[in-house]
Amino acid sequence: PILGYQLILGDASAPSTQSAQQPTTPQLSGQKRRRDSNSSELPGEEEIAEELRCAICQDLMYRPVMVLDCLHNFCSSCLSQWLQRHTDCPQCRSRVRSVKPNRTVVNLTEKLVEDRRSDQDKRQSDDSDTLLKN
């Protein structure tokens, strides 16, 4: 089990483990489809769902958390299970020191998850989640 990461839930008194370095903005790869900047067309539900897919389970993120060291997002239960055996981010292999619920992604996925993931699947995820206990 990994004991070296810290879950931040908004407690200002908790000691920070982030480095003093300025965060860098991730560069977009040229492989993703780019939307015409003059287009008023909004992305469809399928496009949004694809962007909100967990890299671990390949399903729509459920109770998403963000690795603060690299800003990657995963299902809380998926990352919880991953961190029992690893100390690095499953996507970029950066060391995971702290994670935090990603409220923006939570808001985006809430309705999509309700429609696309079964109650049984959500219960199983909740049962295996050690990062965000109810």
Q: Which is more confident, 5 or 76?
A: 76
Q: For residue 69, tell me if it sits in a domain.
A: yes
Residues 6+ apart with CB under 8 A from 117: 59, 60, 62
**Burial letters 53-69, b for 16+ CB under 10 A, else e:** ebbbbebbbbbbbbbbb
Q: What CATH number is associated with residue 85?
A: 3.30.40.10
Q: For residue 12, tell me if it sits in a domain.
A: no
18-49 pLDDT, tens digit per residue, is 444 444 444 444 445 555 555 567 778 788 88
Mean pLDDT of the chain: 75
Q: For residue 32, tell me if it sits in a domain.
A: no
Q: For residue 72, tell me if it sits in a domain.
A: yes
Per-residue model confidence (pLDDT) at position 33: 52
Q: For residue 28, tell me if it sits in a domain.
A: no
Q: For residue 24, tell me if it sits in a domain.
A: no
- Domain encompassing residue 2: 1-7+46-134
51-109 pLDDT, tens digit per residue, is 899 999 999 898 999 999 999 999 999 999 999 999 999 999 999 999 999 998 988 88
Q: For residue 14, tell me if it sits in a domain.
A: no
| Structural domain count of the chain | 1
Q: Is the pLDDT of residue 12 over 50?
A: no
Q: For residue 18, tell me if it sits in a domain.
A: no
